[in-house]
Amino acid sequence: MSGRPGPGRGPRPEPTRTAAGGPAAGGTAASRKPRARKVPVLDVDHLLDTAGIIVCCGAGGVGKTTTAAALAVRGARRGRRVVVLTIDPARRLAQAMGLTGLDNTPRPVEGVLDDPTGEAPDDPDPAGAKDAKLGTGGSLDAMMLDMKRTFDEIVVAHSTPERAQQLLANPFYQSMSSSFAGTQEYMAMEKLGQLHASGQWDLIVVDTPPTRSALDFLDAPGRLGDFLDGRLLRLLLAPAKAGGRAYVKVIGAGFMIVTKALTKVLGAQLLEDVAQFVAALETMFGGFRQRAEQTYRLLGAPGTAFVVVAAPEAAALREASYFVDRLDAEGMPLAGLVLNRVHGSAAAALGPERSLAAAETLEEHGEHPLASAVLRIHADRVLLGAREDRLRRRFTSAHPDTPVIDVPALAADVCDLAGLHEVGDLLAGAGARFPAG
């Protein structure tokens, strides 16, 4: 969207544009010095009010699961029917939501609309209208992907009872459905498609696995097709297609040699299990690929948004850059970056040098040891904040159009709904903040 030019007189060069498309403030013909572009801010509440699917991705250990849960909680508090799906094997999400455990079935999260401050849930935020929608009748369900159970459900739903029983009892299927590379990502796409098709929820929040494999589900349709279209599996399928003695005529001596070699390496029973598995799965393959492609298109459609989560650390921000570049290459809708666990100080005007000098003076006189310790902690925090700010600026200079929201580091780990409420407030910019370190 292009913004209208600001007021001015006479001809002037093309104004510098912000990420939103409008002219940068102060851009005039007399302004010859280039000015840094202002980094757009991620409007989390607008995202929660308008998106139908939010996919959280990022490296491990950056608070991605907590961020996904906090987004889901705040979305429910803003009146939306939300379900959060995690495919991270960690159990933190269940614990934070007060659930004894998550499984492949969405479970309601009780008390999500209660105000942790004790105020009535339908009271507007006295600080202003930004949070006036909180607690207005949404709901939240949570679930954890069980990829084998999801695979079993697909088999039962898309094949005859006899074929389903044959496939479910196949030893190769039992192993592949729980451990085969790429199965988890493909089943995540299947489950996302199921949740969306049900129409039961306004908003689906997906918490992906850590590291770069979080985007592997984008490759799931093609990878599954490569697996089932592979030459080896097609050879294994040939006996079932040819049948009986006709098989020998069709395949010939060459295949018999290959089969004997494979039998020596893999064993006759395993080879037979694989062949039966491929024969049983082939009738379902078209449906697998079709549904995966539909879900892939859904991920790139309006109403879907990807949120990249990172910590202000060099390795995590390198991963974030990878995610942003990959999503851009795939044409996927990126909402922005959540920079989590940012450090700063409300007394940043007191620089680290002065703080350390004051601490040394107190220590030389043997006075106020507690004040000296606090001054040293403050100096360390300001230095840490400055280092994090340099890393942030390095990322934003490489991705100037990516909206960013900073979430301050909390004093303790998030382990309950009250903590998720607090993180949600910080994500929306409604919590207590501090000046940049």
Instruction: Give the model confidence (pLDDT) of 155-189 as tens digits.
Output: 887 777 887 887 788 777 777 666 655 667 777 78
What CATH number did the domain enclosing 53 receive? 3.40.50.300
Same domain membership, residue 384 and residue 261: no
The β-bridge relationship of strands 139-144 and 107-108 is: antiparallel
Q: 266 and 144 in one domain?
A: yes
171-175, 366-370, 373-377: least confidently modelled range = 171-175
Is 209's pLDDT higher than 90?
Answer: no
49 plus 190 within the same structural domain:
yes
CA-wise closest residue to 327 among 106, 33, 55? 55
pLDDT exceeding 90 applies to what percent of the chain? 29
Neighbours of 160 (CB within 10 A): 10
User: Quick one: tokens of 132?
Assistant: 């006036």
Q: Which residues of 367-403 are buried (b: 16+ CB within 10 A; e: fewer)?
A: eeeeebeebbebbebbbbbbebbebbeebbeebebbb
Is 190 a member of any domain? Answer: yes
**28 falls within a domain:** no
Q: Which of 111-115, 184-188, 297-301 has the lowest mean pLDDT?
A: 184-188
Q: Above pLDDT 70, what percent of the chain?
A: 64
* Structure-block tokens of residue 335: 């909402």
Give the separation between CA 75 and CA 361, rounded to whole angstroms: 51
Same domain, 230 and 371: no
User: Both tokens of residue 395?
Assistant: 């990322």
pLDDT grade for 279, boundaries at 50, 70 and 90: low
In a domain? residue 74: yes
The reply to whether 322 falls in a domain is yes
Using CA atoms in the order 114, 120, 124, 128, what is the torsion angle rounded to 10 degrees? -80
Same domain, 403 and 278: yes
Distant-in-sequence, close-in-space partners of 167: CB < 8 Å, separation ≥ 6: 155, 159, 173, 277, 280, 281
Helix (H, G, I), strand (E, B) or coil at 2: coil
Which pLDDT belongs to residue 378?
86
Question: Of the ranges 33-42, 113-122, 137-146, 385-394, which one carries the lowest mean pLDDT score?
Answer: 113-122
Q: Same domain for 403 and 374? A: no
pTM here? 0.75
pLDDT confidence bin for 226, thresholds 50/70/90: low
Q: What is the DSSP string of 267-313?
A: -HHHHHHHHHHHHHHHHHHHHHHHHHHHHHHHHTSTTEEEEEEE-SS
Domain assignment of residue 245, yes or no: yes
Of residues 300 and 283, the one with the higher pLDDT is 300
Q: Do 259 and 313 share a domain, yes or no?
A: yes
pLDDT of residue 198: 92
Residue 238 structure tokens: 């040939």
Q: Which tokens hold the place of 174? A: 């039992």
Contact at 8 Å (CB) between 195 and 104? no
Cβ-count burial of 214 within 10 angstroms (0-12 exposed, 13-18 middle, 19+ buried)? buried
377 plus 259 within the same structural domain: no
243 and 312 share one domain: yes
Rounded to the nearest integer, the mean pLDDT of the chain is 75
Is residue 229 predicted with pLDDT exceeding 60? no
pLDDT at 103: 81
Which of 48-52, 207-211, 381-385: highest mean pLDDT? 48-52
Residue in 147, 139, 138, 211 with CA at minimum distance from that of residue 179: 147
Q: Are residues 217 and 261 in the same domain?
A: yes
Closest residue by Cα to residue 203 from 141, 151, 152: 141
Residue 165 is given by DSSP the state H
The tens digit of pLDDT for each residue in 35-93 reads 556 889 999 999 999 999 999 988 888 988 899 999 999 999 999 999 999 876 566 67
Q: Give the residue, 156 or 9, on which the prediction is more confident.
A: 156
Spacing of C-alpha 437 from chain mean position = 28
Query: Two tokens at 220?
Result: 């799931």
Domain membership of residue 380 (yes or no) is: yes
348: confidence class by pLDDT, cuts 50, 70, 90: confident
Range of the domain at 361: 352-391
CB 304 within 8 A of CB 333: yes
The predicted pLDDT at position 152 comes to: 84
Q: Is residue 36 part of a domain?
A: no
* 93 and 182 part of one domain: yes
pLDDT for the residue numbered 274: 63
pLDDT-derived band at 31 (thresholds 50, 70, 90) equals very low
Q: What domain count does the chain have?
A: 2
Q: What is the predicted pLDDT for the residue at 33?
A: 47
The two three-digit tokens of residue 109, written as one number: 């999260």
pLDDT of residue 400: 94
Q: Which SS3 state, helix, strand or coil, does residue 233 take?
A: helix
Is residue 378 located within the same domain as residue 246? no
Compute φ and ψ for 26, nearest 5 degrees.
Answer: 85, 5
436 found inside a domain: no
